Amino acid sequence: SQQGEEDPQALSIQEGENATMNCSYKTSINNLQWYRQNSGRGLVHLILIRSNEREKHSGRLRVTLDTSKKSSSLLITASRAADTASYFCATDAGDKIIFGKGTRLHILP
């Protein structure tokens, strides 16, 4: 069963702009994770935010979590061509994590 749902499904922006992706989920969580998948590759873990955290940074990435709204956002600042990929949120369900269907991000030159 799918827990997280990303929005939008696809996003195209100019290089240098900021990209924001959102994730909504249904049940309470202990943590939420974001992953990146380049075409033809496996998923790469970007960041994990725990339920008692509201914001987390990693380089050009900023993740927020609002447990009252059951939502999270991933902001990529100063986008680059190499950021073109699919981005997935994943929420914990016991020992495992469940992935959403992802946001396809395309950075235009």
| Cβ proximity to another protein, 61 vs 98, nearer residue | 98
Q: Which residues in the 32-61 window bind another protein by CB under 8 A?
A: 33, 35, 41-45, 48, 50
Residue 26 lies near another protein (rule: CB under 8 A):
no
For another protein, the closer CB: 59 or 109: 59
What is the SS3 string spanning 55-69?
EEEECCEEEEEECCC
Q: Determine which residue in the list 20, 61, 98, 106 makes contact with another protein, applying CB under 8 A.
A: 98
Residues contacting another protein: total by CB under 8 A: 24
Q: Tell me if 61 sits within 8 A of 47, measured CB to CB.
A: yes
Order of strands, edge to edge, in the sheet holding 61-66? 5-7, 19-24, 71-76, 61-66, 55-58
